[in-house]
Amino acid sequence: MSRKVLVLAETRDGKIRNVTYEALSVAQTIAQGGEIAAAVLGGSEPENVSLLAEFGAQRVYVVNDERLNQYTPDAYVQAFTGLVKEAGPDVILLGHTAVGRDLAPRAASRLGAGLISDVTGVEPAGDDIIFTRPIYSGKAFQKKRIRSGPVFATIRPNNIPLAEKKAGQAAEKIAYQPQIRDIRTIVKEIVRKESSGIDLTEAKIIVAGGRGVKNENGFKLLQELADVLGGAVGASRGACDAGYCDYSLQIGQTGKVVTPDLYIACGISGAIQHVAGMSNSKVIVAINTDEKAPIFNIADYGIVGDLFASCTSSCSTASSSSSSAPLN
């Protein structure tokens, strides 16, 4: 069954975010002959159109209006739903990002459509598309489908395998003039984080250090690895007490509780006070010189060895990894 698919192409600082390519990859599996379109809201680099084409977009709607240069729910909901009404897609896909999470529910209600959020898997099944998504912080999963109306879904980043990039593809570029009446919320100020660090409690990947990191420089190394992986840096109480890092990084019983997809514990013994803060991580990696350290009891993967060497090595391996798009 062929379906027309519309993907919201999200950009960051003008560059297309990886999750857009992931959404386009999904589109390729479900379009089954139907047209795949992408929509770019707000200004962006001209070469983005061809980049989108390389992942399967046949048509790119360029929605330019200076009111879209900064995200606001009203402007984006009005522009996007207007485009949807005009383009009439069967399937609408967004990334489950800050923009996606904020925009999709309102847009779905405005369109009278069901919405399946935070999807980690997509399979076409006859006339239906079955979406898989985690529930209960990933302890269980559900499969859902849209019963009627447009199929609307947000895709969790870093979960869908990318389709093959087809160089040299072209897409039809169409300018769309949005109807934006009224913007009720005003963005007064944006305070950018100085460090490249992502908020610990939201981070999907955390590289954490314990006493084994031995000093502040050790933490710089962890930050490098975190940067390469697109994650944040955390710490055990022991490391904070020893002055290797700030207490805002502390994870554990008296610190922050985190539930990332990946938790890399470096030089952390795994005492219960720390484990209580990260035991619900999806995947736990432990790096420690002590093979009897309790952390290995809860780790999925373990390296008994020097964390400095491991991290440095992991950094170089990960950054030169074979995935064609940068980890974003």
On the 0-12 / 13-18 / 19+ scale of CB atoms within 10 A, 323 is: exposed
On the 0-12 / 13-18 / 19+ scale of CB atoms within 10 A, 125 is: exposed
- Name which of 101, 161, 158, 153 is nearest 132 in CA terms: 153
Residues of this chain, 158-197, that bind another protein according to CB under 8 A? 158-159, 184-193, 197
Cα–Cα–Cα angle for 53, 101, 230, nearest 5°?
70
Q: Which residues contact 264 (CB under 8 A, 6 or more apart)?
A: 205, 206, 207, 208, 225, 285, 287
Our finding on whether 44 is near another protein (CB under 8 A) is no
Residue with Cβ nearer another protein (35 or 152): 152
Residue with Cβ nearer another protein (106 or 173): 106
Which stretch in 2-10, 49-57, 167-175, 315-323 sits in contact with another protein by CB under 8 A?
Answer: 315-323
The minimum distance between CB 169 and another protein, in angstroms, equals 26
Residue with Cβ nearer another protein (127 or 291): 291
Count the residues in the chain.
328
Residues of this chain, 68-107, that bind another protein according to CB under 8 A? 73-74, 77, 97-98, 101-102, 104-106
Our finding on whether 8 is near another protein (CB under 8 A) is no
Our finding on whether 109 is near another protein (CB under 8 A) is yes
The minimum distance between CB 225 and another protein, in angstroms, equals 10
Our finding on whether 246 is near another protein (CB under 8 A) is no
Number of residues that bind another protein (CB under 8 A): 100
Distance CA 308, CA 229 (A): 16
Q: Which two tokens stand for residue 249?
A: 């990084």
Sole binder of another protein in the list 134, 209, 218, 234 (CB under 8 A): 134
Our finding on whether 129 is near another protein (CB under 8 A) is no
Question: Contact at 8 Å (CB) between 205 and 261?
Answer: yes
Our finding on whether 241 is near another protein (CB under 8 A) is yes
Residue with Cβ nearer another protein (50 or 319): 319
Sole binder of another protein in the list 23, 68, 94, 115 (CB under 8 A): 115
Sole binder of another protein in the list 317, 324, 326, 328 (CB under 8 A): 317
Q: Cβ–Cβ contacts within 10 Å for residue 75, how many?
A: 24
Question: Contact at 8 Å (CB) between 73 and 185?
Answer: yes
Residue with Cβ nearer another protein (178 or 238): 238
Our finding on whether 215 is near another protein (CB under 8 A) is no
DSSP secondary structure of 212-231: GG-SHHHHHHHHHHHHHHT-
Identity at 240, one-letter amino acid code: C
Sole binder of another protein in the list 262, 265, 268, 278 (CB under 8 A): 262
